[in-house]
Amino acid sequence: MSFQDEKALVRAHYDALTRATYETVAEILSERTSPNWHWRGMHPFHEQYGAEAVAASFWSPFLQSMSRVQRRQDMFIAGRNEIDGFQSVWVISMGHLMGLFDAPFLGIKPKGRIAMLRYAEFNKVEGGRIVETALFCDLLHLMRQAGQYPLPPQTGMHLVQPGPATHDGLHFDDADPAQGAKTLALVNRMIGDINTHQRYSTPQEELAQTWHDDFIWWGPEGIGATYTIDRYIAQHQQPFRTQIKDRVYNGHVCRLAEGNFGGFFGWANLTVTNAGGYMGLPAGTPAEMRVVDLYRRDGDKLAENWIFIDMLHFLNLQGLDVLGRMTDF
């Protein structure tokens, strides 16, 4: 099973974007995408169709704000999507879009300094074209870099997140399919444990089934990163499980693995209700969580997890318009 054609297409797409300007990006996007390309972006971009709309919504404003943009990839994998019965092929990229933040972006004021927009992107390839894309980026982290962080202190620590500790996340060549199948099976077992966690006597017992004790949970801005099972429980799992209620699992759009890496995204994965206190907000109404989870497997357990959440959408549904408040800074 080879994914070389799909990987080559996405890499050429990325190479072309490095030469794009805000004036030419629509044409460049159209070169390798389908006419009805379905693009999913975080709030305030949401869903767009076709290169012109995607350029107008995200890429042209971004390139007007950021100069000398580099794509610094930490993960690049491909595989068949378990969610549709392994019929479609998707290519996943994760890393940072690095540039000089020289003009306002979404009301975020620039510093004229280096900035790194953390991203994860899923591209569905069909018939030699990119037909679907989901681009998740951490806009809250960009606000922090610009000195305009709008939320209360988070439970974990946020950093400019590194890639895999093993520095082997770029699968430009295809990996052994057996290793990908092993990773996907472990991810699915972990998901099963989350949904049936009541059968374990402690959170530590639950997590020890599929996670190394010293695993690293690279959470998004607003929650932050944690290290080791015990700190993960204290700094993310416990607040989430006690301050969130009425959790509804909506499913995933794509879930795949290649080699020791794998992951998924949903649109939206979860619908949850803030019971009061989560991320400093009062009790509220049901809200969607659009989430990406990417994983590194080490042996028979998971060692690292990178998470992206459309935080601005989640907060906006609860009445907090973060971008609208940017004018107050």
Last residue of a domain, one of 95, 130, 145: 145
Query: Stretch 241-245: mean pLDDT, rounded?
Result: 93
CATH number of the CATH domain containing 314: 3.10.450.50
CA distance 313 to 299: 36
Domain membership of residue 60 (yes or no) is yes
Confidence of residue 295 (pLDDT cuts 50, 70, 90): very high
Q: What does the pLDDT read at residue 159?
A: 78
Query: Stretch 14-18: mean pLDDT, rounded?
Result: 97
Domain membership of residue 107 (yes or no) is yes
Query: Stretch 18-32: mean pLDDT, rounded?
Result: 97
Q: Do both 24 and 76 map to the same domain?
A: yes
Three-class secondary structure assignment of 214-267: EEEEECCCCCCEEECHHHHHHHHHHHHHHHEEEEEECCCCEEEEECCEEEEECC
Confidence of residue 158 (pLDDT cuts 50, 70, 90): confident
Confidence of residue 219 (pLDDT cuts 50, 70, 90): very high
Contact 304, 74 (CB under 8 A): no
What's the whole-number average pLDDT of the chain? 95
Domain membership of residue 206 (yes or no) is yes
Q: What does the pLDDT read at residue 328?
A: 55
Confidence of residue 240 (pLDDT cuts 50, 70, 90): very high
Query: Stretch 99-128: mean pLDDT, rounded?
Result: 97
Q: Do both 201 and 105 map to the same domain?
A: no
Confidence of residue 79 (pLDDT cuts 50, 70, 90): very high
CA distance 327 to 329: 6
- Angle, alpha carbons 154-155-160 (nearest 5°): 65
Query: Stretch 21-30: mean pLDDT, rounded?
Result: 98
Q: What does the pLDDT read at residue 1?
A: 80
Q: Do both 182 and 299 map to the same domain?
A: yes
Domain membership of residue 54 (yes or no) is yes
The length of the chain, given as a count of residues: 329
Which has the higher per-residue pLDDT, 159 or 288? 288
State yes or no: pLDDT of 154 exceeds 60. yes
Distances in Å between the alpha carbon of 320 and those of 206, 236, 272, 287, 311?
34, 21, 16, 12, 11
Most confident of 149-163, 189-203, 236-250: 236-250
Least confident of 26-30, 156-160, 270-274: 156-160
Q: Do both 184 and 108 map to the same domain?
A: no
Q: Do both 118 and 222 map to the same domain?
A: no
Last residue of a domain, one of 145, 169, 195: 145
Q: What does the pLDDT read at residue 33?
A: 98
Q: Do both 128 and 190 map to the same domain?
A: no
Q: What does the pLDDT read at residue 327?
A: 66
Residue type, 84: D
Confidence of residue 195 (pLDDT cuts 50, 70, 90): confident
Q: Do both 24 and 126 map to the same domain?
A: yes
Domain membership of residue 191 (yes or no) is yes
Domain membership of residue 229 (yes or no) is yes
Number of domains in the chain: 2
State yes or no: pLDDT of 268 exceeds 90. yes
Contact 240, 219 (CB under 8 A): no
Domain membership of residue 201 (yes or no) is yes
Confidence of residue 281 (pLDDT cuts 50, 70, 90): confident
State yes or no: pLDDT of 234 exceeds 90. yes
Q: Do both 134 and 192 map to the same domain?
A: no
Last residue of a domain, one of 122, 145, 168: 145
Q: Do both 320 and 205 map to the same domain?
A: yes
Query: Stretch 35-59: mean pLDDT, rounded?
Result: 98
Q: Do both 187 and 261 map to the same domain?
A: yes
Domain membership of residue 253 (yes or no) is yes
Query: Stretch 303-309: mean pLDDT, rounded?
Result: 98
Which residues constitute the domain of residue 29?
4-145
Q: What does the pLDDT read at residue 78?
A: 98
Q: What does the pLDDT read at residue 301?
A: 98
